[in-house]
Amino acid sequence: MGNKLQVEAICQGTVIDHIAAGQGVKILDRLHLLDSKARITVGFNLPSKALGFKDIIKVEGRMFTEQEANELALFAPSATINVIDDYRVVDKFSMTIPETLSGAFSCPNSNCITHNEPVDSFFYLRHVSDDTQLKCRYCEKIFSKEIVAELK
């Protein structure tokens, strides 16, 4: 299968597959993957049966934390994460957008109490057609995921 070919170069690490084309760069940036010493291989605009075109990111020697996986789900809900060990896929899971997100993103509302008090940001997530909206627990404002994710 094509999938096996695409992951076989990795000895141990993580492959993020089935990223919607164009989102790969955002993910690299968002997860600060280029700042790390990890060896990264990316493919952009690869043909995909399900998506038409897709991006793929292979990260050698690195596993993703649950928080990172949650952030990833916002950018790449179609993605799958393959955990690679000894050149084999030992675990594979789809993105699930979490119901809540804590600490990952700042509240875009500059008047929000989270900017002045020592509390972590906290959002409730909900799906509206193809979009995901985040509602701040503290100021109760609702933002699209694009707005929240641009800020950090």
Which residues are near Zn ion by CB under 5 A? Answer: 107, 109, 112, 136, 138-139
* Closest separation in Å from C-beta 69 to Zn ion: 23
SS (H, E, C) 37-88: CCCEEEEEEEEECCCEEEEEEEEECCCCCHHHHHHHHHHCCCCEEEEEECCE
Nearer to Zn ion, 44 or 138 (CB): 138
Nearer to Zn ion, 20 or 112 (CB): 112
Q: For Zn ion, which is the closer residue by CB, 90 or 113?
A: 113
9 or 139: whose CB is closer to Zn ion?
Answer: 139
- Compute the least distance from the CB of residue 57 to Zn ion, in Å: 31
Q: How far is the CB of 103 from Zn ion (least distance, A)?
A: 13
CB of 116 to Zn ion, least distance (A): 11
Per-residue exposure over 129-146, b if at least 16 CB sit within 10 Å of its own CB, e if not: eeebbbebbbeeeebebe
Task: Return left, alpha or beta for 144; rule: phi > 0 is left, psi -120 to 50 is alpha, else beta.
Answer: beta
